[in-house]
Structure 1
Amino acid sequence: MFYGYKYNSWRHTFYLFGGFGVILGIVLYFRMKNAVVVRKNSQYSIKNATVKEALIVFFRNPTAILLALAFAGMQFVGVGFLTWMPTFLHETFDFSLARSGFDSTFYHHVAAFIGVIGGARIADSWVKRYNKVRAIIQAVGLLLGAPFIYTMAKADSILTVYVAMAFFGLFRGMYDSNIFATLYDVIEVRYRSAATGFMLMFAFIVGSISPYLLGVLKPVLGLSDGLASLSIVYLFAAICILFVICFTFRRDYVK
């Protein structure tokens, strides 16, 4: 306590990290410069695009829209998982809140790190020979991750939960490794930052609904069934990517 002000509330953690984010945003706003493209010993600056132009380009690009829907689905699952998995471990296995918070993220994110490195390495190795490889890796990550989301939520053994969380993280990392690279395959250079911003904004707005919805469903379905149902959203995201691979990527690909 300092001058009657308590510093033991969780909200101060959010103030601290949020404050650093605001400061970083201000620094980047003043320090970042327009990109300079270098080709064959010559260079030129990219002409700025207006927000209106960028949005028109984005919404006229079926692949970009499908990628944004897939990313929103992944975020819906991810935010719901991160919000409610500690409660699930606490209520199901009688863990302390501290252990629940650690166990619900550690194994998942360690495996996700491996998945990001592996997915990126595979994509970089094959993309010159097969330009759809980034989207394929994303689809594989979503398709293989969905069963482990269901297993994680329905398992009775804590070991099974840990293994399922790890594999869910591994395949999520594979998807994550190509989120923006796949988008940039179908968006011209001058529109990429705007397209990235829009996709992020849309995905996190959709993702913010997940914790509330799972909270509403908890007394009706139970937390286990609510978390298990997130696997359906993962499959929806995978279908969006598969549609890209089969129908829209070839037309929208930017060489």
Structure 2
Amino acid sequence: MSSSLNAAPPSTLMRRAWLIVGLLFPVALLNYLDRQMIASMKVSVMGDIKDIGTEENWGHMLASFKWVYAICSPIGGYIADRFSRKLTICGSLFVWSLITWLTGHVSSFNELYWARTMMGVSEAFYIPAALALIADYHTGGTRSRAVGVHQMGIYCGVITGGFAGFVADAPDLGWRFMFDFTGLAGVLYAIPLLFLLRDVPRQSGEPETASSGDGGGSFGELIGNRNFILLVLYFTLPALAAWVVRDWMPAILQKSFNISQGKAGVSAALYWQGAALLSAILGGWLADRWMRRSERGRIYVSAIGMMLIVPAMFGVGNAPALNSFGLAIAALIVFGVGWGFFDCNNMPILSQIVRPHLRATGYGLMNFVSMMCGGLADWGFGKMSDRHVPLNVIFGVFAMICVFSLVIVLLIRPKPGT
């Protein structure tokens, strides 16, 4: 934190810190709404763009977004650490919103594929910069709560995206309207955001090695950090299941329970994202309080979340075979509670194991590994669906992966006093 900020009264610092979270909340919402709503409109999009053809092609299109997002995330994180978190955030919002608008005007699978790919490039710059900026401002006992509030914007975006199926089904609107509307909203919001956001100024005596040194030194320091490698694994493995739930659950519910596209989209997003929204606040509050007694407080809260995700995966996988829509929804709610506990503590845990000027770069690397594997999960799920692999087998594997993740997070050792 800069000397100019330290000189301000504590009440002013706190208001400024929460203002940053408030300004970023709509950006987080748009970030996930723009990427998520296509899953709820799958039937309409595939019906309109005939040359998509197969589930594998659809999965490949979803995977391409994740792969380029993954590749660009460390670059975006490094730029945010090296230059400006504010400009990285605003530039990312403007470009991905423009691409969102263009997506509403594609006419072939090839055009859709490349539009989603370019959206992956532009969106990759946002999350590392935003979470690092929040961590810069929230230096004390509010960090997990602040990240939790920001993540609520993500969950609200996914929930809103779940209603896109109803818009796609409406004769006077359609799936293209959603891309036009949300794209224009993001372009317009980027303009005032550029004037309202503020980076935390550097102290005059701060070391420059992390912020202005070469990228190889930053990446090398992170890769040589045992705790960081463990956090990357922990961040990545549960995301395999989460991306399949986000991207495929509308289609799974529609096919398994013979319900409408609109109802499937809302059911797939509203329940688990609503649960995650509330649990992110609860998990952030609990983690901040636990940190008063133990430097591993945030790790313990995140581990509790992982313990909840394990049975949720078994429930989601077995609900279609049991023809129980209620079980599917209950399992999604439990998954959401666990995910909120997990999600609100990743950047705070990262802040306990790396230096401040490596936070965005570190989160970018975490996104790189997670999204690359998430893309493989999307593509692989599409291939397995074409080959009729039972859902309970697929989600049973996800549950076992989450058990392994629980062991990993408990091995992380934060630095004292962080």
What is the TM-score of this pair, normalised by structure 2? 0.52
User: Judging changes above 3 Å, is the alpha-carbon distance between structure 1 residues 146 and 34 closer, same or farther for their aligned structure 2 residues?
Assistant: same
Structure 1's 36 and 129: CA in aligned 2 closer, same or farther, altered over 3 A? farther
User: Could you tell me how far apart the structure 1 residues matched to 2:224 and 2:191 are?
Assistant: 32
Structure 1 unaligned regions, length at least 5: none
Q: CA deviation at 1:142?
A: 0.8
2:259 is paired with a residue whose SS is: coil
Once the two structures are TM-superposed, the CA of residue 197 in structure 1 deviates from its matched residue by: 1.7
Letter of the 1:137 partner, please give it: V
> Are 1:222 and 2:386 matched, yes or no?
no
What is residue 366 of structure 2 aligned with on the other side? 199
- Partners of 1:27 and 1:75 lie apart in 2 by 33
Map 1:156-235; keep pairs closer than 5 Å. Answer: 156=322, 157-218=324-385, 219-235=387-403
Note the C-alpha offset of 1:235. 2.1
Of 238, 261, 268, the residue aligned with 1:97 is 261
With over 3 angstroms needed to count, the CA separation of the structure-2 counterparts of 1:211 and 1:11, relative to structure 1, is farther
Q: Deviations over 1:121-175 (max 9, x none)?
A: 0111121320011111111111221111111220222112111110110111011
The aligned counterpart of 2:405 is 237
Q: CA deviation at 1:44?
A: 5.3
> Letter of the aligned partner of 1:121 in structure 2?
W
From the superposition, tell whether residues 160 and 220 of structure 1 become closer, same or farther in structure 2 (CA, over 3 Å).
closer
Q: After alignment, is 182-191 or 9-18 more displaced?
A: 9-18
1:10/1:240 Cα in 2 relative to 1: closer, same or farther (>3 Å)?
farther
Q: Distance in 2 between matches of 1:18 and 1:203?
A: 26
SS at match of 1:128: coil
Deviation at 1:12, TM superposition (A): 6.8
Question: Hey, what does 1:107 align to over in structure 2?
Answer: 271
Deviation at 1:237, TM superposition (A): 2.2
Q: What residue number does 1:139 align with?
A: 303
Is the CA contact 1:146–1:231 (under 8 Å) kept in the aligned structure 2? yes
Superposition pairs for residues 33-52 of structure 1, below 5 Å?
A: 35-36=200-201, 47=208, 48-49=211-212, 50-52=214-216
Identical-pair percentage:
22
Aligned residue identity for 1:84:
W
Q: Distance in 2 between matches of 1:181 and 1:121?
A: 12
Residue type at the aligned position of 1:239? V
Structure 1 residues 222 and 12, CA gap change in structure 2 (3 angstroms): farther
Cα distance in 1 for residues equivalent to 2:249 and 2:199: 42
- Shift in CA distance, 200/6, structure 1 to aligned 2, threshold 3 Å: closer
Shift in CA distance, 99/60, structure 1 to aligned 2, threshold 3 Å: same
Of 109, 116, 119, the match for 2:280: 116
1:149 aligns with 2:316: no
TM-aligned CA distance change 1:130 to 1:221, over 3 Å: same
Gapped regions of structure 2 (runs ≥ 5): 1-104, 108-172
For 2:375 and 2:298, locate their aligned partners in 1 and report how far apart those are by CA, in whole Å: 27
Amino acid at match of 1:35: V
Moved more, 16-25 or 75-84: 16-25
Going from structure 1 to structure 2, the CA distance change for 1:196 and 1:214 (only over 3 Å counts) comes to same
Change (3 A) 1:136 1:223: same
Q: Does 1:127 align with 2:291?
A: yes
Q: Counterparts of 1:103 and 1:87 in 2: how far apart (Å)?
A: 11
CA contact (8 A) 2:233 2:408 kept: yes
Partner of 2:59: none
Question: What is the identity, as a one-letter code, of the residue corresponding to 2:269?
Answer: T
Which residue identity does 1:143 align to in structure 2? Answer: M
TM-score (norm 1): 0.81
Aligned residues: 242
Deviates more, 1:70-79 or 1:20-29: 20-29
For 1:62 and 1:12, locate their aligned partners in 2 and report how far apart those are by CA, in whole Å: 47
